[in-house]
Amino acid sequence: MSAMRDVHLCHPRDGPRVTHYDSLMCGRYTIRTSLQKIIEAMSPVLAKLDPILFESRYNVAPSQDVPAMRAAESGRELVMLHWGLVPRWADDPAIGNRMINARAETADTKPAFRDAFKRRRCLLVADGFYEWKAELDGKQPYFIHMRDDAPFAIAGLWEKWKHDDQSLESCTLLTTSPNEIVKPIHDRMPAILAKADYDAWLDPKTDPDTIKILLKPFAAEAMDARPVDRSVNNPKAKGPFDQRKDVQPETFWRI
């Protein structure tokens, strides 16, 4: 019998498959923070990853490998997971292309996510994300981040898929209703967790009712948003993406 081999559909430094994810709930984000600073921010966490994987990424897109924190025997571990959850029962890993987001309100009831929601929760590491606002001249991307530009953790689910001699560890991120910063731009936002809630989210023994309470809009006063160049609409674009100076001031929202 041949050895099990891992499937890596897209390396983080490679461009994603050419699919336009800008119309989805949360289809693009950033990881500009170094590995060392992520470890400090998410501590305690064990990370046996190559720092080169954490070269600034201004346009993280589905089908790429992304850093995620999950529970391990020794505590928390930081690993790379394929963004686009592939359920255990899937025949073809391409189904993951449609599983990049899960709604916080219903993930525990959906066949693709409910088992992972109970047993395999994770936290996706990011330091900003993009949402698109419909304008008269097309969709305008906005970059949304913490005011202090610190990294944060998005609630996610992970799964391990095996088929014949192939295996793949993949993930999806959870979305919730928007806070006052995001609401004028989009009707959903990533479910960002406070650091005090990391352990409860990652622990499979945590009561399901407690888990769902954690999936609420993050405090708007800690966040900011700014319009950026539309070149980010191209999932192959590397960035960084300049702020749009021609967008009228009233399109900024601050709490």
Active site residues: 26, 131
Q: Where are the beta strands (DSSP E) in the chain?
A: 5-6, 29-31, 46-47, 57-60, 65-72, 75-83, 101-103, 121-126, 128-135, 138-146, 152-163, 166-176, 189-190, 192-193, 223-227
Q: Are 62 and 20 in contact (CB under 8 A)?
A: no
Q: How far apart are CA 59 and CA 241, in angstroms?
A: 9
- DSSP character string of 9-61: SS-TTSPPPS---TTSSS--EEE-S-HHHHHHHH-S-EE---GGGGS-EEEE-
For the chain, the residue count is: 255
DSSP 93: G
Q: Rounded to 5 degrees, what are φ and ψ at 231?
A: -65, -20
Whether residue 178 has a cis bond before it, omega within 30° of 0: no
Q: Which helix (H) or strand (E) holds 209?
A: helix 208-214
Handedness of CA 57, 62, 65, 66 (dihedral sign): positive
Tokens in use for 231? 């070149």
